[in-house]
């Protein structure tokens, strides 16, 4: 039983006994992401970290996209592309905004298993929200202790099984032929506990040529043979066949008809298929009262096939990789961790040390997207290579906590190596095999001043780095081989923060931060479906984040989060804007905004909950977003209002919940996301007007 349930049960018991009503206690959430190996209250960490509870994740939501939930964390921008052939566009403090394939610049985890590959590219399509217990979002310097691609960390934890045993089924359906169905069983018996969830999702899509379907399974099995040992096994599977890709729209196409697909999407029947199977195991063993060991192991397979809108003529040169991408990825890894707890100078001290090794083996093929005059079909082979990425990291972190001051420091050394073996060698396309390795040491240090029981002030600083991903290495200017001249980007970050509880049941968090990055990886050219990348000069991200969360009156609550971020290129650089172009020739001026990043974002929720009923009004703001490095166009700012209404009934062993929500109540026209530096100026991915969603969930406790 979780802590909130314990408090509620205690209150009910007291009322039944005729005692005075128990004052509601709002507990401080406990997190593990900022300090691996050590659980501590988020209030006491020298880092910006937010916890989103499972009840919030599942409440009156579609439970398919992380963008439904991450809006509650300041500093996080999660843009729903309305295109399930492309991953969500997720950035934290501006890191990750320019990604056009997967999630980069961030580290992603599900139940301690990395959802980010060794090359720094992450995926979120297998995140199971219907069985989630919580999501932790870490921003700032301490995310650098997670190694390559650490602008921030998003970690999802599946809810444990129990108490007792239960079975439930849920569904939601709404606008544009959207529906979701999931079934779940959970329970505990003896030392065993389990939770298994299966889901099915389908949509016709808001835009033409945007139909999608997804099937998924998420399972978590735990065994505790004793109080000193816990074994957790997690299994996750996901399948997305032939998801249609409407591509982005030009400014003229957007203004003419935002629901249309790009003509090129219809011509080539652009689409994407993905399937993934992943297995992980975590063994935790308390060796002595002061020492604990933890071993995490994982393995998985992910395959992707994507049909692109590459013109036939563009595929004529021998070096062209074609218009169909086929990837087969096998990955595995180990993380061994040891934690020792003692006291130094009369105060608690904890030391965590660990080793982590991760490997990705990728088979990459490219094919023509035509056969004769028929377009949108797999044609002749044009690329074939075996790629491998490996990491080997060593890390150390220590925390010392006194009554007035807490100190947390960490150090991580990472080595990331890439190797490619080319098997497609033809006249005009030579052997593109090669290898490259990157190394970095990333320290972080934080200090918390415990002013009193309800006020903490902290400062933190750290260094981070990001290697190119395989998709950024995939092409070099003027050739099809890997671009091994790319360097890793290095960042230096600091933040000042305050965490306060100014009144009972109220919390306030705020942070002022700055991050400077050298050798930022940016687009060199983008044409014919091929992006090449280069290292620019310096960039700077600086801003402020704040959140207010509290309860008042009879069942009322307020959550308000907001961020202001100035993300710019500190020095100018040259880029390409037209094809063919293998040598940059157009200036990007110093002071230009980094594309894909809004300067402002906010979320406000005013909610009421009492007697099995709940209602809420939501407000979401996203500032205007530059679409390319030269800031030649912008997606306009958007201000949206959403409404939701829910109810819950309990009959004996049954618990039934219903909800209805209306998004974009005012039916505003807006752009949901942008495709950064798109070579054909198809930057814009429009979002729907007013939409509705109705849901029902029924659970039976055995």
| pLDDT tens digits for range 273-324 | 999 999 999 999 999 999 999 999 999 999 999 999 999 998 888 888 899 9
According to the model, what pLDDT value does residue 24 have? 54
User: What are the tens digits of pLDDT across the range 320-344?
Assistant: 889 999 999 999 999 999 999 999 9
Residue 675 lies in a domain: yes
Residues 9 and 79 in one domain: no
Examine the pLDDT at 643 and tell me if it is beyond 90: yes
SS3 state of residue 14: helix
Among 616, 623, 646, residue whose Cα is nearest residue 567: 623
| Cβ neighbours for 243, distance < 8 A, ≥ 6 positions apart | 84, 85, 211, 212, 213, 214, 271, 272, 273, 274
Residues 137 and 2 in one domain: no
Do residues 369 and 324 lie in contact, with contact meaning Cβ atoms separated by under 8 Å? Answer: yes
Residues 264 and 144 in one domain: yes
Mean pLDDT over 130-156 rounds to 91
According to the model, what pLDDT value does residue 579 have? 66
Do residues 568 and 588 lie in contact, with contact meaning Cβ atoms separated by under 8 Å? Answer: no
What single-letter DSSP state applies at residue 146?
G
According to the model, what pLDDT value does residue 3 have? 40
Examine the pLDDT at 583 and tell me if it is beyond 90: no
Examine the pLDDT at 370 and tell me if it is beyond 60: yes
User: What are the tens digits of pLDDT across the range 592-604?
Assistant: 999 999 999 999 9
Q: Containing domain of residue 421, as a range?
A: 32-273+313-383+400-440+450-701
Question: Average pLDDT of the chain?
Answer: 91
Do residues 124 and 90 lie in contact, with contact meaning Cβ atoms separated by under 8 Å? Answer: yes
Supply the Cα-derived Rg of the chain in whole angstroms.
Answer: 25
Residue 182 lies in a domain: yes
User: How many CB atoms within 10 Å of residue 202?
Assistant: 16
Pairing mode of beta strands 573-575, 166-174:
unpaired
Residue 670 lies in a domain: yes
User: What are the tens digits of pLDDT across the range 529-574?
Assistant: 567 889 988 999 999 999 999 999 999 999 999 999 999 999 999 9
Examine the pLDDT at 38 and tell me if it is beyond 80: yes
User: What are the tens digits of pLDDT across the range 417-462?
Assistant: 999 999 999 888 888 898 999 999 999 999 999 999 999 999 999 9
Residues 16 and 148 in one domain: no
User: What are the tens digits of pLDDT across the range 47-92?
Assistant: 999 999 999 999 899 999 999 999 999 999 998 888 999 888 899 9
Confidence of residue 5 (pLDDT cuts 50, 70, 90): very low
Residues 162 and 14 in one domain: no
Examine the pLDDT at 100 and tell me if it is beyond 80: no
Residues 130 and 19 in one domain: no
Mean pLDDT over 195-206 rounds to 97
Confidence of residue 480 (pLDDT cuts 50, 70, 90): low
Residue 222: give its domain's CATH number: 2.40.170.20
Residue 308 lies in a domain: no
Residues 318 and 355 in one domain: yes
More confident residue, 232 or 21: 232
- Quote the number of domains for the chain: 2
Residue 101 lies in a domain: yes
Percent of the chain past pLDDT 90, that is, above it, reads: 79
According to the model, what pLDDT value does residue 17 have? 39
Residue 445 lies in a domain: no
Examine the pLDDT at 187 and tell me if it is beyond 90: yes
According to the model, what pLDDT value does residue 150 have? 72
Residues 126 and 248 in one domain: yes
Q: Which two tokens stand for residue 674?
A: 């942008």
Do residues 472 and 313 lie in contact, with contact meaning Cβ atoms separated by under 8 Å? Answer: no
Residues 330 and 346 in one domain: yes
Mean pLDDT over 207-222 rounds to 97
Residue 296 lies in a domain: no
Residues 13 and 81 in one domain: no
Examine the pLDDT at 23 and tell me if it is beyond 60: no
Do residues 374 and 389 lie in contact, with contact meaning Cβ atoms separated by under 8 Å? Answer: no
| Cβ neighbours for 617, distance < 8 A, ≥ 6 positions apart | 605, 606, 607, 641, 642, 643
Residues 610 and 664 in one domain: yes
Mean pLDDT over 239-244 rounds to 97
Residue 668 lies in a domain: yes
Least reliable range by pLDDT among 340-344, 468-472, 586-590, 669-673? 468-472
Q: List strand residue ranges (DSSP E) for 427-468, in order.
A: 434-452, 455-466
Residues 8 and 96 in one domain: no
Distance (Å, rounded) from C-alpha 169 to C-alpha 557? 29
Among 596, 683, 672, residue whose Cα is nearest residue 151: 596
SS3 state of residue 394: strand
């Amino acid at each position: 039983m979780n802590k909130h349930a314990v408090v509620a049960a205690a209150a009910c018991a007291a009322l039944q006994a005729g005692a005075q009503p128990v004052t509601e206690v709002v507990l401080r959430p406990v997190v593990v992401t900022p300090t691996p190996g050590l659980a501590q209250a988020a209030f006491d960490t020298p880092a910006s970290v937010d916890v989103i509870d499972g009840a919030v994740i599942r409440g009156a939501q579609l439970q398919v996209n992380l963008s439904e939930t991450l809006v509650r964390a300041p500093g996080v921008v999660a843009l729903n592309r309305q295109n399930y052939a492309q991953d969500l566009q997720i950035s934290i403090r501006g890191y990750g905004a320019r990604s056009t394939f997967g999630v980069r610049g961030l580290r992603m985890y599900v139940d301690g298993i990395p959802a980010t590959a060794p090359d720094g590219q992450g995926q979120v399509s297998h995140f199971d929200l219907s069985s989630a217990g919580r999501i932790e979002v870490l921003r700032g310097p301490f995310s650098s202790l997670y190694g390559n691609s650490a602008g921030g960390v998003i970690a999802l934890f599946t809810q444990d099984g129990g108490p007792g045993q239960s079975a439930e089924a849920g569904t939601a359906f709404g606008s544009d032929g959207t529906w979701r169905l999931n079934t779940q069983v959970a329970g505990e018996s003896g030392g065993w506990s389990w939770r298994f969830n299966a889901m099915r999702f389908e949509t016709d899509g808001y835009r033409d040529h945007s139909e999608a379907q997804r099937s998924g399974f998420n399972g978590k099995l735990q065994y505790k043979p004793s109080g000193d040992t816990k074994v957790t096994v997690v299994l996750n599977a996901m399948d997305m066949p032939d998801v249609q890709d409407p591509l982005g729209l030009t400014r003229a196409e957007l203004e003419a008809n935002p629901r249309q697909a790009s003509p090129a999407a219809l011509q080539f029947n652009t689409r994407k298929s993905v399937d993934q199977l992943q297995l992980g195991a975590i063994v935790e063993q308390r060796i002595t009262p002061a020492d604990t060991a933890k071993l995490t192991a994982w393995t998985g397979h992910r395959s992707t096939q994507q049909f692109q809108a590459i013109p036939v003529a563009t595929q004529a040169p021998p070096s062209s990789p074609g218009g169909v991408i086929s990837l087969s990825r096998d990955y595995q890894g180990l993380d061994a961790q040891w934690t020792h707890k003692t006291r130094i100078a009369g105060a608690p001290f904890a030391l965590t040390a660990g080793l982590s090794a991760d490997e990705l083996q990728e088979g990459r093929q490219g094919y023509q997207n035509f056969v004769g005059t028929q377009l949108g079909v797999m044609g002749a082979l044009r690329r074939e290579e075996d790629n491998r990425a490996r990491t080997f990291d060593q890390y150390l972190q220590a925390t010392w906590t006194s009554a007035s001051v807490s100190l947390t420091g960490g150090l991580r050394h990472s080595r990331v190596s890439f190797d490619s073996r080319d098997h497609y060698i033809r006249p005009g396309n030579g052997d593109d095999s090669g290898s490259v390795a990157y190394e970095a040491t990333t320290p972080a240090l934080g200090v918390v001043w415990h002013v009193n029981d309800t006020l903490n002030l902290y400062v933190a600083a750290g260094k981070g780095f990001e290697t190119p991903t395989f998709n950024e290495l995939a092409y070099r200017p003027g050739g099809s081989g890997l671009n091994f001249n790319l360097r890793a980007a290095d960042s230096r970050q600091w933040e000042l923060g305050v965490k306060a509880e100014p009144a009972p049941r109220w919390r306030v968090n705020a942070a002022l931060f700055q991050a400077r990055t050298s050798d930022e990886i940016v687009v060199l050219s983008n044409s014919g479906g091929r992006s090449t990348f280069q290292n620019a000069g310096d960039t700077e991200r600086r801003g402020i984040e704040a959140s207010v969360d509290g309860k008042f009156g009879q069942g009322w609550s307020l959550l308000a989060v907001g961020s202001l971020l100035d993300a710019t290129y500190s020095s100018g650089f040259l880029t390409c804007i037209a094809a063919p172009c293998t040598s940059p020739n157009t200036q990007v001026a110093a002071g230009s905004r980094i594309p894909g990043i809004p300067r402002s974002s906010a979320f406000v929720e005013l909610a009421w909950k009492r007697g099995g009923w709940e209602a809420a009004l939501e407000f979401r703001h996203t500032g205007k977003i530059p679409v390319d490095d030269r800031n030649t166009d912008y997606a306009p700012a958007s201000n949206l209002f959403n409404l939701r209404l829910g109810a819950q009934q309990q009959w004996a062993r049954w618990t039934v919940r219903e909800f209805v929500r209306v998004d974009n109540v005012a039916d505003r026209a807006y752009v949901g996301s942008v495709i950064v530096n798109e070579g054909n100026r198809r930057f814009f991915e429009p979002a729907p007007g007013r939409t509705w969603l109705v849901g029902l969930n029924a659970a039976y406790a055995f």
